[in-house]
Amino acid sequence: MTGHDPIDTSRPHPARMYDWFLGGKDNYPVDEEMARQLLELNPLGREMAKCNRAFMHRATRWLGDTAGVRQYLDIGTGIPTEPNLHQIAQEVAADSRVVYTDNDPIVLRHAEALLRSSPEGLTEYIQADAREPDRIVEQAGKILDFDKPVALSLIALLHFVPDEDGAHELVRKLLEPLASGSYLVISHVTGDYDPEGSEKAAELYKAKGVPLALRSRDEVGHFFDGLELVDPGVSLVAEWRPELGEVVFVPDNGLIPGFVGVARKP
């Protein structure tokens, strides 16, 4: 773990807004203010965060149970909310190894909660920006065995990385050193179902200095180019393997506008 960067409370941070949507206390007035503005555009903001979290749980359970994955690299970790990825992974297989990465110093403050590993397994935390894939790979490579499969988890991250910031190159660089049989897990907000509201949300983020790249189903699908998509392919959040449990209740006609997918590196 590195750095003691000051926490910037002058502008909202996605990890802290996500924490607010999930009912957490590790956020600031600037985060709550913007989260409430987003709720005015889409009142299902809290359900979106919970659905996204539930997908992460289902995907991790599937990776451990069905795919036999024992190593995880989670980028854009966010503020700890139980159960966390390592708790799900180590519940399935106690010897699972998990490396978390985030760029918000507030997550570093809570790293102790992220590092409560099972005795047989391991969890570590790297403070780094997702736009530093080389650094992440170098640091994670000291902890994980890249000669064996790794699940690369990019949950609610890529919609904050526009194409012009190299989103696809970022994914490629992170996948490149991983062994055959590794997996890519993505969840991503879309503007497909409410273009007008989505445009307003993007403008709101932009005004606060946070880029927002809302991609279509096909555009999200491009992140999986060259990989073998696991059924049901790129799907709506709540429609990805609901039989694995933890599908969050959504009100009638309350579509959760996000796409998710899991794919294997051949």
Domain extent listing, the chain: 14-264
**Residue 52 CA to chain centroid, in angstroms?**
8
Give the per-residue pLDDT at 252.
62
The reported pLDDT for the residue numbered 10 is: 85
Residue 217's Cβ-count burial label (10 Å; 0-12, 13-18, 19+) is: middle
Residue 149 has pLDDT above 60, yes or no: yes
Per-residue pLDDT, 1:
40
Question: 177: buried, middle or exposed (CB in 10 Å: 19+, 13-18, 0-12)?
Answer: middle
Task: Determine the CATH number of domain 14-264.
Answer: 3.40.50.150
Considering only residues 24 and 63, tell me which one the structure prediction assigns the higher pLDDT.
63
Instruction: Report the C-alpha gap between 193 and 117 in whole angstroms.
Output: 40
pLDDT over threshold 50, residue 266: yes
For all residues of the chain together, what is the average pLDDT?
91
Beta strands in the chain (DSSP E): 71-75, 97-102, 122-127, 151-155, 183-189, 228-229, 235-236, 258-264
Rounded Cα–Cα distance for residues 112 and 125 (Å): 9
Would you place residue 3 in the very low, low, confident or very high pLDDT band (cuts 50, 70, 90)?
very low
Over residues 216-230, the mean pLDDT reads 97
Rounded Cα distance between 186 and 158, Å, is 8
pTM for this prediction: 0.92
Question: Predicted confidence band at 156 (pLDDT cuts at 50, 70, 90)?
Answer: very high
Ranking 52-56, 106-110, 120-124, 176-180 by mean pLDDT, the lowest is 106-110
Q: Give the Cα-Cα-Cα angle 35, 39, 44 (nearest 5 degrees).
A: 120
> In what helix (H) or strand (E) does residue 107 lie, and over which residues does it extend?
helix 105-109
List the single range of 5-14, 35-44, 144-153, 175-184 with lowest mean pLDDT.
5-14
Distance CA 123, CA 101 (A): 11
Q: What is the mean pLDDT of residues 182-198?
A: 93
Region 28-45: mean pLDDT is 91
Q: Give the number of residues written for the chain.
A: 266
> pLDDT tens, 125-135?
999 999 999 99
